[in-house]
Chains A and B, each alone.
Chain A
Amino acid sequence: MDILILLILVPVLTVLAISISRTKEQIRMSAAVGMGIQLVQATYLVFAYLAERKNGNVDDMLFVRSWEWFKSFNIQFSIGVDGISVSLIALTAIVIFTGVLTSWKVDNLSKEFFISLIVLTTGVFGFFISLDLFSMFLFFELAVIPMYLLIGIWGSGPKEYAAMKLTLMLMGASAVLLLGILGLYVNSAAAPGGLMTFNIIDISRLNIPMEVQRIFFPLLFVGFGVLGALFPFHTWSPDGHSSAPTAVSMLHAGVLMKMGGYGCLRVAMYLMPGAANEMGWIFIVLTSISVVYGAFGAIVQKDLKYINAYSSVSHCGLVLFAILMSDKISANGAVLQMISHGLMTALFFALIGMIYERTHTRDIRFMGGLMKVIPFLGVAYMIAGLASLGLPGLSGFVAEMNVFVGAFQHSDTFHRIATIVVCSSIVITAVYILRVVATLLLGPIKNNDFNLIKDAVWFERATVIILIFAIAGIGMAPLWLSDFISRSLDPIILKLSMIK
């Protein structure tokens, strides 16, 4: 059986297993086992990919398979992976596995919860392995829609509002996206009157006319950009993340937002390099704003999840910024940043969820001195914070440096000034991270009730340790991952550089 098909099949089977489970124990065990298998498969995929490369396979995409799906429109279900998608699949597998672990104590309608969660995951995995714009879009929708239920039912705070807002904004984005995809499709005939196609690889071999690119590049970039929290379409993020249940925040910020970045790189930039080159500056300005603005926005927030949501805006802005630089180093940085931010923010949201369960508040004004009572979570939070502000030895640093160095390779003043502006975010990030750490963990204990709370239990520890391990692993030895990704960037960068 094909490994990529299994990646979709296992979640589907897991959903089936959950739906026939009776007790809560069975439900969460089947979810955990299913996602555990998924994690193993993702790991296997990484090694299989490396082995294939070692055997001298130099194709852009590996494990390519294709099935005819809807013949008259030439829609295929074609799948395949390269280094970028493999690494993002691995990220997804880690995040969903830890997400299931953090949801161990979901008691309310747990069957439905896990089913929605895993349906969502299926969408994400499908998205990353799709080579066909149509199936990519299909999986995109599959990933976005369960979000509504997950936030609306199991969320907290103004959950209906948040769920509605998030879903509507993402649906709006996908409308724009669909338009862009169709635009690509109708212009994808190799010769006038030839067969039109949704296949990314086939389209990438063509030169789409410039006037077509000018129309559809912004559509696609904005469509994916909304998911990647592009200013000014980011406002679903603070509300959505703060209302979502822990595992959903983790998945959403950790993985779904990466689909935006991935889409921008793989579809918008790769297929329409001309417009990317020509209109990139608009989006560079927007993403630079995202980066700095998100960071400034985070400084004064009071809710832990809001802080993290704004921080995500800033970090994901950096991803898009790096992608727009159309430089190999920074594109590499962008992918690294996606992975790094995925892990980091998953850790953050997991920790916030755990802390919230204990303190029943997320308002940092009422917290303080938690390091004393929950040292494990405290230290983990601090590590997540340090990773977020780009401490060497943790993953954030590697990604950011790749982005900055790459972005600075452009010799014109505009790109350099944008880079310097974006660089300044490392200081602002430090400010808000330290503010949170200081008010949340350090200082005297503000509330006597906090003296009674207990430190993490086994599944929480497992979550945190897996994520920290991944973060530190990337941070300490980045070279293999960087090499892993950078080879796959070659075709994209080549296409972009041919335009110049």
Chain B
Amino acid sequence: MIEGIQLEFFLVLGTLVFFIGIYGFLTRKNLITMLMSAELILNAVNINFVAFNKYLYPENLEGQFFALFIIAIAATEVAVAVSIIISLYRKIKSIDVEKVNELKY
């Protein structure tokens, strides 16, 4: 808990980072940068969890655990995503998301 800082401040921060991530996810064409945007989104969630833990239920550790698990999941996600990106790159020599449109009608 930081003196003079409200919980809302953290939440607004989390929201902003989250939507910056969303914006990036929607606009970036490169798959890796999209992945990075996704990391931003995950991290925004972490900030929220941590803030909730600290401000609302300081006697428990749930917020930290969730954040930990999210970090773990982010790691696996990146691992799988990177492998997908690499195999995709081998196939179509590009990691432009707009060129990856095999899966359509």
A and B touch in the complex (CB under 8 A): no
**A residues neighboring B (CB under 8 Å):** none
